[in-house]
Structure 1
């Protein structure tokens, strides 16, 4: 039946939904209006551009609706955390700017000290003999210029400021990315919970908070959600991906509900229940699902319940109940496809019947171990097979199956067919599955039935004074079954009443055998005089006249 309901938990939730009234209260409509207004305020097509603060202000109001489950409150908290992170980022940038200015000042001071600071006591040095007297050489003393401790302190401070900048930049980057991860985790949670409008709201808020354009989702590469995106789309998931998938899901749910309403109008309840179950599984919290009228849902509720009963019956191997339920579902839904269910029921019931038949054969052969194994298999396949009760009766009779079959063989050998007929309800089940005995039994039943029918017809004729006709009808049956005691008894009882008729027919037969055609015809006419509608007399007269004319 319908795939979405194969899971028992989903089936229970779906049946509960079918019994729920539509969310048509004023509070529900106000909640949906708030969500739509938030999306409108954040839309890039909003006149004058997105209005971030007004949209945020509506979140607490939307979170008061019970159906929201405080998700808008969670979203507003995530937005607040993200904004604090952005403010901290701005303050950090200001601090980094001040540190950069301090570093540049230290560099300028160090450069000036290295260029200009010299030892004031050191002037031109006296040249040696032979050297140019005009040659002079500036001299620096240790502790002055680039060799001074002050210069070294400037260099150390420059390095310290640069290290602090790098540390501060790294810390701020980590904080920013962490706030993104937390926000994106909430978006993914909304998506998994099938709160698609919340995903769209969170996506638009995200674009207003982080305007750098980086929307890559920070998801573990080995996680199931990442595999869903990468395997289905072939690309890494982004915020825009969640947004577009949410829009697509909303569209699919709306279309599914539209198709459901069309199918219900046509009475195709199986397809209608499947389409609604699929739409519900995806968009349980979507307006199209929540606002669907209960009267329309109730139209498929009985079919869904019947489908669940059918599944339970097949699972519990109650194939009689399953067959009953299949017929009931056929009457409820014009499009119910019972092919698979009927095939399963037929296969299992047939297999169980075959095992019972094998058990009977093993029991007849006095192989109790195999008989027990076959019955055990039959019970495992179909515990409530009615033929198990029949087999139990045979076993409870003290193993009389073998004796019953022996009695059948003995009576058949003695040609005591009347006793076989009298015990037909005992012999029938006992020889079931035995082709030879079954063929003999069937022939006996047909023969005795023909005899009984003829005797009853003759009794009716005799009761209205048509003894000759009664005897003539029975004589044909008697020629086929001359040893039947009931037939012989009735004909013996009828004989005195038709003695003249039978004497005439017998004399005609005797004269015909001797070649005395005239005498034979005379006796046949006498028989016809006694019973004008006699077929035997008419047939004999026609035959003798034809012989006489040759």
Structure 2
């Protein structure tokens, strides 16, 4: 567990997979996917039940204890059921992929039988060629003198006839040798084609099983593994990976063993069992009102077996009962990240009311430690300011602001320095100058000094708070884009910074991030810009085509979706109201 199967650690809120640790609370994509799951109704309609029944029939049909077939695996029946399962939306055509792989194995073996029959014919021709070559090497008994069996017969044959007979036999032998070599080459080539065809279909089937395993489609892994063993008997079905590939590293280097089809089957069954146990624990904890532990158990089951029936059939009421807690928990983490300790404490108290088993000691300890440390820096700043140590005053104010930007004790620090009016005036002048030149980043860098300077100036305080809030918003957008880019979603990263850039076009780091991501997805950006230009010109059809092209590049594009909706709404006339006769 944790090497080839995902392992969730509830104590640290981390997921171990392929030997690496992942913080699921710091994963925007996972949180969004899990929250979508919590809002989804259970998969219990007739179609869902029919799909699960079909998958169970597949498992029974492929079982060596299949009573309907006298304890034999019904491979043809299983393939027919796979085709049926692929028609359900829940399957995502994965069963069809298995059926197609089986069909390709059948084709490969049919081709092999045909080539073997061809080789058998070639072998008979080869035997005839050898026999004819042997006959051609004997003297021609029909020539005069060769018919005599006495010693005088050979002597009676003219010298020219003997030479001509020898040349004829050598020529025939050469032709038969060439023919023999051609036949043998064809046999060898056919045998090579048979071996390659068998190996290709085998490796393709192995790759399909590994793909299902990585996608956590464990029911399909089991079906594919059992079908594989019906076709191949190769010592447990050892998987063959390219040396140094990701799949090889995942199983061999991390797990420490060479995987087999049997081990994949076993691991898939273990994952199904672990998921079912996690859901059982979730149901038990929900009944006890322990929402914090229940949310962890459900998250563990979701990470491991998102597509398995126990996860898909959880009642909506139970999922909704932990949705509020999960949202509050995520908001608390976001508040701690941006150092808004007042909001973080509010969410901690809310979670204490929602879940009796919520351990509030760790977040409250972090909040109180940050507040205490910030207040200590404020007090030190006051003392240093009174001593006239301006450098130490700035350093401690900056440290206090860095730890807790909204610390109300910062006003106390300013009050203690009120007598130093010239410093305040200079600070305000600097602030006005930086605002006039739109040097907002520089203001944010030294925000502690400006916060203390404008504490009694509501107008400047409002402007300063807006600047700090805007920079924080920009930094969050850049951070979100960076995380999306790290998981390979550069398109989403560009759209994130593009949305922020429309509101804050003068921020240098944001402009640089926008330029960097635009370079990586240049064709996508170009298509969007072209679509917008055509839309502005009123060329609806051409604009819609470019928006559709953009969505092909990035199906989750919000820009492409919005553009398509605008143009479709513009193109389709409103339906006239129906008049009652």
- TM-score interval (norm. to shorter): 0.5 to 0.7
CA distance in 2, matches of 1:314, 1:327: 14
Q: Which residues in structure 2 correspond to 1:120-269 (within 5 Å)?
A: 121=145, 141=163, 143-144=165-166, 148-210=170-232, 215-231=237-253, 233-269=255-291
SS in structure 2 of the partner of residue 144 of structure 1: helix
Larger Rg: 1
Deviation (angstroms), 1:77: 2.1
Partner in structure 2 of residue 408 of structure 1: none
Between 1:47-56 and 1:23-32, the stretch displaced more is 47-56
Of 65, 74, 78, the residue aligned with 2:97 is 74
- Give 1:13-24 correspondences, 5 Å limit: 13-24=33-44
Q: Superposition pairs for residues 23-422 of structure 1, below 5 Å?
A: 23-47=43-67, 48=70, 49-114=72-137, 121=145, 141=163, 143-144=165-166, 148-210=170-232, 215-231=237-253, 233-395=255-417, 398-399=420-421
Q: Deviations over 1:279-327 (max 9, x none)?
A: 1001000000001111112222222112111111111111222223223
Q: Give the whole-Å Cα distance in 2 for the aligned partners of 1:117 and 1:52.
A: 61
Which stretch of the first structure deviates more once superposed, 275-284 or 59-68?
Answer: 59-68
Say if 2:332 and 2:344, in contact at 8 Å, map to a contact too: yes
Report the alpha carbon displacement of residue 79 of structure 1 after superposing the two structures with TM.
Answer: 2.1
Q: After the TM superposition, which of the residue ranges 370-379 and 264-273 deviates more from structure 2? A: 264-273
CA distance in structure 1 between the aligned counterparts of 2:206 and 2:380, rounded to whole angstroms: 66
Post-superposition CA distance 1:152-174 (Å, at most 9, x none): 22122222211221122112211
For structure 1, list consecutive stretches of 5 or more residues without a partner in the other structure: 127-138, 402-550
Asked if structure 1 preserves the Cα contact closer than 8 Å seen for 2:386 and 2:417, the reply is no
TM-superposed deviation, 1:115: 5.3
Alpha-carbon displacement from aligned partner over 1:68-95 (angstroms, at most 9, x marks no partner):
1121222222222222112111111111
Task: Give the drift of 1:141.
Answer: 4.8
Residues 229-249 of structure 1, C-alpha deviation per residue, up to 9 Å, x if partnerless? 224543322222221111111
Say whether the 8 Å CA contact 2:140–2:165 is kept in structure 1: no
State the Cα RMSD in Å.
2.8
Instruction: Measure, in 2, the Cα distance between the counterparts of 1:160 and 1:219.
Output: 36
Residue 399 of structure 1: how far off its partner (Å) = 4.7
Give the Cα separation in 2 of the matches to 1:298 and 1:255.
21
Could you tell me how far apart the structure 2 residues matched to 1:117 and 1:339 are? 109
1:12 aligns with 2:35: no
Which residue pairs with 1:544 in the alignment? none
8 Å Cα contact 1:194-1:284 kept in structure 2? yes
Contact 1:145 1:151 in 2 (8 A): no
Tell me, which stretches of 5 or more residues in structure 2 are unaligned?
Answer: 1-11, 16-23, 153-160, 424-581
TM-score (norm 2): 0.62
In 2, Cα distance between the equivalents of 1:147 and 1:350?
Answer: 110
CA shift at 1:125, angstroms?
6.4
Cα gap change, 1:120 to 1:93, in 2 (>3 Å): same
> How far apart are 1:336 and its partner, in Å?
1.9
